[in-house]
Amino acid sequence: MKIIDINLKCIKADEGKVLTNGEAFSSVGGEVYLGINDKAENWHEITEAEYEKIIKRDERPAVEIDKIDSNLDEALDLDDPSDEF
């Protein structure tokens, strides 16, 4: 039997703010789950107005992390005790 500890770190934007690392964006007031090599210091908050300017300036769509994270619990299915690693 193997026991695996999973430690997730999550940062949450203040109301009306968006988290960004310069490449990805949370939704307004959203959360970001940090990857194993990521640090909270790599992220900062911008206003919703600043976010809108960046999106309009860049012709590429923003990666909304919250949409990815919303499926995290479902994908890991941590509530199911029958899961084996």
More confident residue, 26 or 79: 26
Residue 14 structure tokens: 């203040």
Which runs of consecutive H residues, i.e. helices, occur in 20-71?
48-57, 65-69
Residue-level pLDDT at 39: 94
pTM, whole model, 2 decimals? 0.63
The 10s digit of each residue's pLDDT in 58-72 is: 765 556 655 555 555
The 10s digit of each residue's pLDDT in 22-47 is: 999 999 999 999 988 899 999 999 99
Give percent of the chain with pLDDT exceeding 90.
Answer: 52
Q: How far apart are CA 85 and CA 78, in angstroms?
A: 11
Q: How far apart are CA 78 and CA 62, in angstroms?
A: 29
